Structure 1
Amino acid sequence: MYSTFLFGIILCIGLKFTAAQNIGICYGSKGDNLPSAQETVDLLKSNGIGRVRIYSPTPELFEAFKGSNIELLVDAGEFLQAIGSDPNAANNWVNTNIKPYAQDVKFKYIIVGNEVHPTDDVAQYVFPGMQNIQNALAAANLQSQIKVSTAIEMSLLGQTYPPSAGAFADGAIDYMKKIINFLVPNRSPLLANIYPYYAYSGDQQNVPLDYALFTQQSKNPDGYQNLFDAMLDATYAALEKIGGNSLIIVVAESGWPSSGGAGSSDDNAKLYYQNLINHVKVSVGTPKKPNQPIETYLFALFDENQKPGSEIEKHFRIFNADKSPKYGISFK
Structure 2
Amino acid sequence: MATVFKLIFAVSMLFTLLVFCRGSIVGVCYGRNADDLPTPDKVAELVQQHNIKYLRIYDSNIQVLKAFANTGVELMVGIPNSDLLALSQFQSNADSWLKNSILPYYPATKITYITVGAEVTESPNNASAQVVPAMHNVLTALKKVGLHRRIKVSSTHSLGVLSRSYPPSAGAFNSSHAFFLKPMLEFLAENQSPFMINIYPYYAYRDSPNNVSLDYALFESSSEVIDPNTGLLYTNMFDAQIDALYFALMALNFRTINVMVTETGWPSKGSPKEKAATPDNAQTYNTNLIRHVINNSGTPAKPGEELDVYIFSLFNENRKPGLESERNWGLFYPDQTSVYNLDFKGRGVVDVPKNSTFTGFNGTTWCIASSNVSQLDLQSALDWACGPGNVDCSAIQPSQPCFEPDTLISHASYAFNSYYQQNGASDVACSFGGAGVKVDKDPSYDNCLYMTTGTNKTAASNTTAMASTSSSSPSQIEVFVWASRFLLMTFLGLLNIA
- TM-score of the aligned structures, taking structure 1 as reference length: 0.91
Residue 179 of structure 1 pairs with residue 192 of structure 2:
no
Residue 279 of structure 1 pairs with residue 292 of structure 2:
yes
Residue 106 of structure 1 pairs with residue 119 of structure 2:
no
Instruction: Quote the residue 1:3 is aligned against.
Output: none
Query: Per-residue displacement from partner, 1:304-323 (whole Å, max 9, x unpaired)?
Result: 11234444321101011111
Residue 55 of structure 1 pairs with residue 65 of structure 2:
no
Residue 41 of structure 1 pairs with residue 44 of structure 2:
yes
Asked whether the equivalents of residues 180 and 243 of structure 1 are also in contact (C-alpha less than 8 Å), the reply is no
| Cα pair distance change 1:54/1:171, threshold 3 Å | same
Instruction: Quote the residue 2:341 is aligned against.
Output: 328
Indicate the percent of aligned positions where both proteins have the same amino acid.
38
Query: Per-residue displacement from partner, 1:205-260 (whole Å, max 9, x unpaired)?
Result: 11111000000013222300000000000011111112321100110000111222
The SS at the match of 1:173 is helix
The SS at the match of 1:121 is coil
Instruction: Quote the residue 1:294 is aligned against.
Output: 307
Asked whether the equivalents of residues 28 and 56 of structure 1 are also in contact (C-alpha less than 8 Å), the reply is no
The one-letter code of the counterpart of 2:197 is A
Asked whether the equivalents of residues 122 and 158 of structure 2 are also in contact (C-alpha less than 8 Å), the reply is no
The one-letter code of the counterpart of 1:150 is S
The alpha carbon displacement at 1:85 in A equals 2.0
1:90 alignment partner, one of 90, 94, 100: 94
Instruction: Quote the residue 2:11 is aligned against.
Output: none
Asked whether the equivalents of residues 283 and 291 of structure 1 are also in contact (C-alpha less than 8 Å), the reply is yes
| Cα pair distance change 1:237/1:91, threshold 3 Å | same
The one-letter code of the counterpart of 1:268 is N
Q: Which sections of structure 2, spanning at least 5 residues, go unmatched?
A: 1-17, 228-232, 346-498
Instruction: Quote the residue 2:404 is aligned against.
Output: none
The SS at the match of 2:92 is helix
Instruction: Quote the residue 2:69 is aligned against.
Output: 66
> What is the distance in 2 between the residues matched to 1:188 and 1:38?
30
> What is the distance in 1 between the residues matched to 2:68 and 2:119?
26
The one-letter code of the counterpart of 1:169 is N
Residue 249 of structure 1 pairs with residue 262 of structure 2:
no
- TM-score of the aligned structures, taking structure 2 as reference length: 0.61
The one-letter code of the counterpart of 1:76 is I
The alpha carbon displacement at 1:269 in A equals 1.0
Asked whether the equivalents of residues 251 and 294 of structure 1 are also in contact (C-alpha less than 8 Å), the reply is yes
The SS at the match of 2:286 is helix
Q: Looking at both structures, which has the greater relative contact order when contacts are Cα pairs under 8 Å and sequence separation is at least 6?
A: 1
1:233 alignment partner, one of 231, 243, 251: 243
The SS at the match of 1:99 is coil
> What is the distance in 1 between the residues matched to 2:147 and 2:103?
8
| Cα pair distance change 1:180/1:210, threshold 3 Å | same
Asked whether the equivalents of residues 109 and 146 of structure 1 are also in contact (C-alpha less than 8 Å), the reply is yes
The one-letter code of the counterpart of 1:115 is E
Query: Per-residue displacement from partner, 1:268-322 (whole Å, max 9, x unpaired)?
Result: 1111111111111111111111111110000000011123444432110101111
Residue 141 of structure 1 pairs with residue 141 of structure 2:
no
Asked whether the equivalents of residues 72 and 106 of structure 1 are also in contact (C-alpha less than 8 Å), the reply is yes
The alpha carbon displacement at 1:74 in A equals 0.6
Asked whether the equivalents of residues 177 and 243 of structure 1 are also in contact (C-alpha less than 8 Å), the reply is no
Residue 192 of structure 1 pairs with residue 222 of structure 2:
no
Superposition map of 1:214-225 within 5 A: 214-222=219-227, 223-225=233-235
Asked whether the equivalents of residues 267 and 278 of structure 2 are also in contact (C-alpha less than 8 Å), the reply is yes
What is the aligned-residue RMSD (CA, Å)? 1.8
Instruction: Quote the residue 1:32 is aligned against.
Output: 35
The SS at the match of 2:56 is strand
Residue 315 of structure 1 pairs with residue 320 of structure 2:
no
2:165 alignment partner, one of 156, 160, 168: 160
Instruction: Quote the residue 1:201 is aligned against.
Output: 206
Asked whether the equivalents of residues 206 and 276 of structure 2 are also in contact (C-alpha less than 8 Å), the reply is yes
The SS at the match of 2:260 is strand
The SS at the match of 1:117 is helix
The SS at the match of 1:250 is strand
The SS at the match of 2:186 is helix
Q: Which sections of structure 1, spanning at least 5 residues, go unmatched?
A: 1-13
Residue 115 of structure 1 pairs with residue 119 of structure 2:
yes
Residue 150 of structure 1 pairs with residue 155 of structure 2:
yes
| Cα pair distance change 1:60/1:280, threshold 3 Å | same
The one-letter code of the counterpart of 2:43 is T
The one-letter code of the counterpart of 1:101 is Y
